[in-house]
Amino acid sequence: MRKRSLVEFSVEHPKLIVVVTIILSLIAMSQFLKVRTDTNPKNMLPATSDVRMWNDEVERTFALYEDTIALGIVNEKGILNRDTLARIQKITDEILKIKGVAARDVSSFTTIDNVTVEGDTLRVKPLLTAIPQTDAAIESLRKTLFENPLFIDRIISKDGKTTAIYVPLEKGANGKEIADKIREIAAKEKGEEKYYVAGDPVARDTFGVEMFKLMAVFAPIAGGVMLLVRYLMFRDLFLSVTLMMDAMISIVWSMGLLIGLGFPIHIMSSMAPVFLMAIATDSIHIFNEFYFRYREKRNKKAAIIETMNAVSRPVRYTALATAAGFAVLLFMDIIPVKVFGGLVAFGTLALRVLSFSFIPAMFTFVSEEKIEKVAQAEDIGISKTSQFLKRLAGLGTHRPKATVLVGLALCILALIGIAQTVVNNNMVEWFKQDNEVRVADAVMNRSLGGTSLGYIVATAESDDFIKTPEAMRYLEGLQRHLEKLPVVGKTSSVVDYVKRINRVLHDDNPKYDVVPETKEMIGQYIFLFSMSAKPSDLDNVVDYPFKRANVWVQLKTWDAQAMRDVIKAVEEYKKVNPFPLELKPAGTAYFNLVWNDEVLWDMVKGFILALVVVFVLLAFNFHSVKWAIVGYTPLLFTILLIYGVVGFAGKDFDMPISVLSCLSLGMAVDFAIHFISRFKQRIAETHDDNIAEALLWTAARPGKGIMRNAVLFAASFAVMLFAPLTPYITVGAFIVSMMLLSAIMTIIYLPALVTLLQGWLLGKKV
């Protein structure tokens, strides 16, 4: 007795299939109540990674905070006036009350320590204890600020128009929530001042919130557009909804599994629904072929089974190719990359199971009258779309040499563009230029030292070495060397405190603004300072055995390349000035550089491995290495051309682009699998030696499904071009370009290759 296929079982028991699908979906949806989100890039790397362990050690050693928000206050007429200073005092007092703010270490005019001398005694007290009431008092404050290098470009700009309140956050505090509260406090103040909230936690947590909002808004809109385009294609609302449900069910199953297994949703995994919705469009080939088969059979169940027999192999192998492209990410080092790869691979396989069960079952519920009506238009002899595709394929079929040469020329040009690609990541630039997060960051970086913070930790072989004049001068030289970089706005270290103390203890004489001559004098100054200052003032820049010192480096950009430039400058300084101090980078800017490199290169490694796996799958599917090479060509050309444009456009190779590389691989090869499989099937069925006729038939009939797939996909994701976050715009532009380009490459370029290589591919020239 012949064993029934899943398709046959689904056609015979459609209600059972639908009920089982609904039950599984409800089980998956029940897990959504447990959802957790995590947008912190720190958690992109495992807790045992070298950079996380090192950064944690540095934070413990120097009593540093992981996250700090900066509130910029700008008055074009100058900050130093009674009204503005009074507002700064009031705002600072309100910020100190916010839950999650490390109040004891907030830095502003009213809380930052100033080193002075009273009589013969060193005094360390807040810079501004009372608002100056006279012009003379304000002028005295101005003199104090601008004669102290510790203040310039930190809490006062060189032009005196900008100040900042630095707000460190307690562990676990939400940067966006605190930023919103700071904005509310500032908004209550009436005056000429403008307020800007910036910092890594602001950008990171705001992006996280906006990302999930966009997923909630754009996914339904994309789904709605997809539904409308399907309806216009097939004029059957029920089947259009069915194809939509195919995508939604796979998303529910995948996200339910992810949440049920206890994984939080990271930036990468949050994009999985977009990818699955894209991959689900491959089911349109089933719909496309079904109407052709119904015209021939005039029997619904027979048409369903024959349709699945005709497209089952290409549908199955496109799913395997796409799943393999993402599954290789399971072998990468970064946990969220692994989760993302496994999530999309599972969703892709779920889609194919639904394609062979749920979709055939749903076909049985459609009346034959409706099917008959749609099927009338599916005649390649009268269909305008089919005729257009035949003409398009004719370009490659009848002018193969010219087509191939044009393609090669474009690829050479693309390689030149790829050579210009820069690997970089900047989360602030994930917001549009007019977004308040990006505007605030630009204003702060332009006026003050910079919102991105890195450290250079100097470690000696023995205790107390940092106190030596030689070590102090070495660190001072390092600071001056780093400050020559355009990306560095300001540096500070224990040296600045020692020099300041030396100066004020010598009647504020500028010639004593230098490192003292003896280790004993330096030790005495540091001791005097520690007796009066807040513990964090000294803790942040030196450890108590005085074996380590911390040089703060403020950067004027969040580009990962900026910290790379700093590290290069440090290496140059060490080479020219050998000294027994180990210099090692740390801090948020350094972490961003490391995770940028590790995640991006993990994606690149995964992409290269996926290319190999997909080629093997193509060879296995076609039972031929020759056909695998031909089928691989549209994939390679599509990838080369798109990334060539990225390079010429000056777009950085960042996180969104790297993630899209896997999708481009999976989608670009799908069309080739469908085209070649159906072409070979046509040759076998007709026993016809007319290769040109078979190619044109493939373009007109299965090619219609390819073009429908591309147009459906492109139309749906074009809505993302209107998103407020640039990664979504990138995703939209990338996907639209990729789908249309890969479809055109398949319809035009594959016929050209097959025509030129027919003797090699088919064993004889026909």
Tokens standing for 87?
Answer: 């507002």
For residue 2, pLDDT over 70 is answered with no
Strands 162-168 and 488-492: unpaired
Distance CA 592, CA 596 (A): 6
The 10s digit of each residue's pLDDT in 242-261 is 777 888 899 999 999 999 99
Tell me how far apart the 2 most distant CA atoms of the chain are, in Å: 107
Of 50-59, 60-69, 115-124, 160-169, the one with minimum mean pLDDT is: 115-124
The length of the chain is 766
pLDDT of 643 strictly over 50:
yes
Burial class (CB in 10 A: 0-12, 13-18, 19+), 278: buried
Q: What is the pLDDT of residue 1?
A: 39
At a CB cut-off of 8 Å and minimum separation 6, what does 363 contact? 11, 239, 242, 290, 300, 304
Tokens of 499: 């020099």
Q: Which residue has the higher pLDDT, 668 or 425?
A: 425
Instruction: Specify the DSSP class assigned to residue 467.
Output: G
Buried b (16+ CB within 10 A) or exposed e, 158-184: eeebbbbbbbbbeeebbbbebbbbbbe
- 411/413 Cα distance (integer angstroms): 5
pLDDT at 764: 55
Q: Which of 199-203, 242-246, 361-365, 382-386 has the lowest mean pLDDT?
A: 382-386
Cα–Cα dist 142/64, whole Å: 29
Predicted local confidence at residue 480, as pLDDT? 95
Give just the sign of the alpha carbon dihedral 299, 303, 304, 306.
positive
With H, G, I as helix, E, B as strand and everything else as coil, classify residue 173.
coil
Confidence of residue 703 (pLDDT cuts 50, 70, 90): confident
Per-residue CA distances from 138 to 78, 358, 509, 749 (Å): 12, 77, 22, 75
H/E segment holding residue 73: strand 68-74
Cβ burial of 46 (10 Å; 0-12, 13-18, 19+) is: exposed
Q: What is the pLDDT of residue 377?
A: 57
Q: Is 115 helix (H, G, I), strand (E, B) or coil?
A: strand
Strands (E), 645-688: none
Q: How far is CA 536 from CA 106, 494, 543, 637, in A?
A: 11, 12, 11, 57
CB-based contacts of 295-303 (< 8 A; 24+ apart in sequence)? 295/375, 295/376, 295/378, 295/379, 300/363, 300/364, 300/366, 300/368, 300/371, 301/11, 301/364
| Structure tokens given for 701 | 């009939």
How many alpha carbons lie under 13 Å from residue 534 in its C-beta half-sphere? 17
- Using DSSP, state whether 265 is helix, strand or coil: strand
Q: Do 458 and 475 contact (CB within 8 A), yes or no?
A: yes
- Integer-rounded Cα Rg, in Å, for the chain is 32
pLDDT digits (tens, 9 = 90+) for 525-577: 888 888 777 767 788 899 989 999 999 999 999 888 899 999 999 999 999 99
How does residue 373 score in pLDDT terms, banded at 50, 70 and 90? low
Domains and CATH numbers, the chain: 1-34+235-378 (1.20.1640.10), 65-204 (3.30.70.1320), 435-588 (no CATH)
Query: What token pair was written down for 441?
Result: 């960051």
The C-alpha atoms of residue 204 and residue 38 are separated, in whole angstroms, by 10
